[in-house]
Every structure is written in structure tokens, then in C-alpha cells.
Chains A and B, each alone.
Chain A
Amino acid sequence: EAGVTQFPSHSVIEKGQTVTLRCDPISGHDNLYWYRRVMGKEIKFLLHFVKESKQDESGMPNNRFLAERTGGTYSTLKVQPAELEDSGVYFCASSPTGGGYGYTFGSGTRLTVV
């Protein structure tokens, strides 16, 4: 089966611009998660979708970040306006219903804000 796909793989934007990251989970996986790793630190949870609903968004850092999951399929994470501290690697993961912690991670999007 195809894995979790994220794009772009890299993005370089200027401070104040908008960037949209996309994640395509494994087909049929109801659970979708966003994580990010900033500056070689720990990977931090951002939010969790179940189908199109936000189950847990306790990790979203501020209102410059907006996540959506259209029709319970792919998800986008928009950062508007981007700040320097938003630089890092954004990971997406998915798991099936009842899959417990059987995550499959994507390869991540490396975001650099200059």
C-alpha cells in the first residue's frame, strides 16, 4: 500500500508569507496527526483528526496555524503569517480506526522561514 505522502518536501519562505503543507494519509485511515520538530528539539504533537473532525488540537501553538481535513481525506496545515520560529520539520502520520498506536509517518516537510 502507498504510505503517507507529504508535500512539498522542502519549502523556503520569507517571514510574513503564507505556506500550506499537505498530507495524504494511507487510504482508509481515519486518524491523521500532525507533529513538528523545531531546531533539532523534540518532536511535538500539533493535532489529531478523526475523519474530518479535530479530535485533539491541544498542541497547536497559536492562531497562525490552521489545519483542515477536507472530507476526511487529505489534510492541509496552513501557517499565516509565517514567523522565523516556525522553521522546522512538519510530520504527518495516519492510523486506522482501532489501530491503536499503529502510526505510519510521512517523510516530513522541512519548512525554512527566512
Chain B
Amino acid sequence: AQSVSQHNHHVILSEAASLELGCNYSYGGTVNLFWYVQYPGQHLQLLLKYFSGDPLVKGIKGFEAEFIKSKFSFNLRKPSVQWSDTAEYFCAVASVGRRALTFGSGTRLQVQP
């Protein structure tokens, strides 16, 4: 069975600080990888996704993530966070050919102005 670990449950940063949120998954086969974000009072939105090719993927709002196959990791990064990045971030995986997503427990990011 697949599982996803997000090690940071709550992160507090000041504006302009750099962000890295960890995500590790457990699955022996080929996976598709995702980061979703939920801003306060809003629905889940896709930040970025990795299917194949360049392991460094860029998403919306300046976010990027790097897939490291040997480490089963897909960490999310942003060089300089803004107050508007305050949200909850979810890493998710899906085995190729299956549409169901397996999510991590989420990381709540609080950016202080």
C-alpha cells in the first residue's frame, strides 16, 4: 500500500524567508506526484505535479518541487514566501494507472508579515 509522510506539521516563517516542505512516499512502483494547497476558506488547488521527465518541476506562484527517486522524496520549495502563502500544503501520490490519490497529513504554513 502507498503511504505519504509530511514531516513538518506546522511551519512558521517570516516574509521573504525560504521554504522547503518535506514529502516522502512509500511505494515500490511508478508514481505520479502532486502538491496541493488549501488557502483559508478555499478549496484544494493543484500547485504542481510530476509525471515524468525533468525531476525539477515548477508550479504556480513561484513554487517548485524536486523528485528524487532514490530518496522517494518530492520536496516543495519556494525561495521567498509571502504572507499570501499562508495555507495548508498537501503532498499526494498516485500509482500510474490509478486515479485515486494518497495524501500526506498536510503541513500548515503560517507566514508572518
A10: Cβ under 8 A from any B Cβ: no
A105 vs B39: C-alpha distance when bound (angstroms): 13
A59: Cβ under 8 A from any B Cβ: yes
Decide if A42 touches B105 in the complex (CB within 8 Å).
yes
Decide if A45 touches B43 in the complex (CB within 8 Å).
no
Q: Size class of B's contact patch?
A: 20 to 34
Number of A-B contacts (CB under 8 A): 54
Interface residues of B, Cβ cutoff 8 Å to A: 4, 32, 34, 42-46, 49, 90, 92, 94, 98-106
Q: Size class of A's contact patch?
A: 20 to 34
Of B44, B98, B100, B104, the contact of A105 (CB 8 Å cutoff)? B44
Decide if A42 touches B32 in the complex (CB within 8 Å).
no
A15-29: CB near B (< 8 Å → 1, else 0) gives 000000000000000
A51 vs B100: C-alpha distance when bound (angstroms): 16
Give the Cβ gap from A23 to chain B, nearest Cβ, in Å: 12
Decide if A33 touches B100 in the complex (CB within 8 Å).
yes
A43: Cβ under 8 A from any B Cβ: yes
**Residue of chain A at shortest CB distance from B32:** A101
Decide if B45 touches A101 in the complex (CB within 8 Å).
no
Residue numbers in B under 8 Å from A43 (CB-CB): 90, 92, 101, 103, 106
Which residue of B45, B92, B101, B105 has the most chain A CB atoms within 10 A of its CB atom? B101
Give the Cβ gap from A7 to chain B, nearest Cβ, in Å: 13
Decide if B105 touches A56 in the complex (CB within 8 Å).
no
